[in-house]
Amino acid sequence: MLNDVLTDINSRRHGNTVPSGLVRPEVWKQHLAANLASMPPPLADLISKTQQSQTFVTKVNDSMAEKATFHNGRVVLVGDALAHFRPHFAVATEQAAKQCLELGKVWAGESTLEKWERDSLAYGRKMLVLSRVLGVFGQGGWWAFLKMLVVYVRFLVRSKL
């Protein structure tokens, strides 16, 4: 299915984004038919009125840095620079705010940069897995959801050890 979505009208397979005007009309119609009724009315109205020449498709990705601090603590990654979650999870601002508040304690001498990095990476990994669980639940059905739930439980068990 993903191959169909990412293959344009010229039969070229794109890695992440099919640019405006190159989305295959039959793929666009199929997705409208399958998803329009379950969308919030204002969004469904907007999408149904979008002209075919203006449509584009982008694959949603997530990512996680392996480290949060570089150059002896002179470079610190926070928010999306450290861990980029799928948009359906809606925790990007919360993550950045949490990390910045905790960094304030580091700069005030109440905590260490090492502890901040360890806690920030653990939070990022936890949210990344939860984001995937939620995404699979919304799109993959019960079996895919249960498999991702097992991954999440394994993550929790490992992080406690």
Distance of CA 37 to the CA centre of its chain: 24
Measured between alpha carbons, how far is 108 from 26 in angstroms, rounded to an integer?
A: 58
Question: Lowest-confidence range among 76-80, 81-85, 122-126, 153-157?
Answer: 153-157
Type of residue found at 81 = A
pTM: 0.64
Tokens linked to 53: 């020449």
The pair of three-digit structure tokens given for residue 99, joined into one six-digit string? 């990390």
Residue with tokens 């979650």: 85
For 66-119, write each residue's pLDDT tens digit. 999 999 989 999 999 999 888 777 788 899 999 999 999 999 999 999 999 999
